Amino acid sequence: MNKSTTFRAISLFGVLTVAAAGLTGCSSESAGTAGDSTAAAGGTYTWWDPYPQHDESSDWGKRVAACGTEAGVTLERTAYDTTALTNQALLSAQEGTSPDVILLDNPAVSTLSDTGMLTTTDELGLDISAIDANLIAAGQLDGDTYGVPVGANTLAIYYNQDVLDAAGVDPASISDWAGLTAALEKVTAAGNKGITFAGIGTEEGSFQFLPWFWGAGADLTTLDSPEAISALQLWTDWVDGGLAPNSVISNSQNTTWEEFLTGDFGFAVNGTWQINSAAEAGFTTGVITIPAADGGAAPAPTGGEFITTPVQKDDSRYATTTKIVECMTTTEGFVETGNTFAYYIPPTAAGQDQILAEHPELATWIDAVAAAKGRTSDDLGTDYPKISEQLWTAVQEALSGSASPADALTKAQKAAESALS
């Protein structure tokens, strides 16, 4: 191994921004940290993950331990909430106490890899050829791959079948923006509410806007393109026309879901992590992919974690670390992760086929993940948070009526260029 162990510091602001970005794609709430850990020698290897709500007796805790046993070692697991995990990982690299394995929310992979603290999949000899290209891209930077996704979640559109039946809307007929807008008009004309989504001025707002932004054909390097303007105009027109409530300006994904569960809305944009809640709603629900402007599934941003391997001073540890990673990333392992965490979709065709055989109701979500895209893809890496902040600011300005979509995005593009210069 010739990987440099030099740790290149980045600003705490950037770390916190990317860590917060990861929260949008997670399916579970955090419950605090589970204590500190340092890398140990001999028969003990260290593992960090963002699941403090799952203790050692949980299915997840047992699975991690079993992969250690299969590799011939004891895995000492420490759990942090998502933001704390990224910050603790950076601190451990500075102190030379990095764990052997970190399960890391995908937008933070580029942050850690940019510091030089992560090994590449090539250096560990990991075979990633079966991983879907659109999902592995979130872990790639400058031609190198810094981890393996253990699954993915993303956004789609839930619908209330009772509301749609009352309005005479067939959800299967919705294939583009025009069709969706027509459906919203029928729903509101029938006395119900149209669609709710999260337009809040945080990363969650960008996360929910990106399917429409990308679905229009826009690119994050040019926030003020005609395509980008058309996407923000769509949202603005929905709010101005009463097809979406004014509350979307401050809605988080949680509050959006609470609105949908009232039974008043025809549609709601939300994620894979609400599958169980939707099944328990007091009305019949279904789901469709978010349509692109002119048809087909729009690329929605991916959520989910990557299994990453920090640089170690003792490179003899990597052989065992590789065994641990391989244990977690078999087809069966991917499916087990999918079932453990609110149906994370496996990142391989074989895994998707297997989980679909067990859960045929996931077909739409598999289609959505197939069309999905990492926020840090296109080699944006650590530039993404700076761009995203300007994007959600533009969304806020347009939805509140303080600027037109065109003016808001022109301002956002100039601010992004300044932040990146």
What are the sequence ranges of the domains in the chain? 12-153+302-371, 155-300+380-420
Give the mean pLDDT of the chain: 90
For 12-153+302-371, CATH number out of 3.40.190.10, 1.10.3720.10, 3.60.20.10, 1.10.4160.10 equals 3.40.190.10
The pLDDT tens digits of the residues spanning 93-106 come to 999 999 999 999 99
CA 215 – CA 228 distance, rounded (Å): 9
Helix (H) or strand (E) holding 286: strand 285-288
pLDDT at 361 exceeding the cut of 70: yes
What angle do the packed helices 318-328 and 331-340 form, to 10 degrees? Answer: 60
Report yes or no: 205 and 198 within 8 Å, Cβ to Cβ: yes
Say what the pTM is.
Answer: 0.87
CA 318 – CA 122 distance, rounded (Å): 12
User: 3-state DSSP call for residue 1?
Assistant: coil
Residue 119 pairs with which residues in a beta bridge? none
Query: In this predicted model, which residue has the larger pLDDT, 269 or 22?
Result: 269
pLDDT at 16 exceeding the cut of 70: no
pLDDT at 237 exceeding the cut of 60: yes
Instruction: Specify whether domain 155-300+380-420 bears CATH 3.40.190.10.
Output: yes
The pLDDT tens digits of the residues spanning 154-194 come to 999 999 999 999 999 999 999 999 999 999 999 999 999 99
Do 12-153+302-371 and 155-300+380-420 fold alike per CATH?
yes
pLDDT at 349 exceeding the cut of 80: yes
pLDDT at residue 33, rounded to an integer: 33
Q: Six-digit token pair at 289?
A: 């992919």
Report yes or no: 394 and 232 within 8 Å, Cβ to Cβ: yes
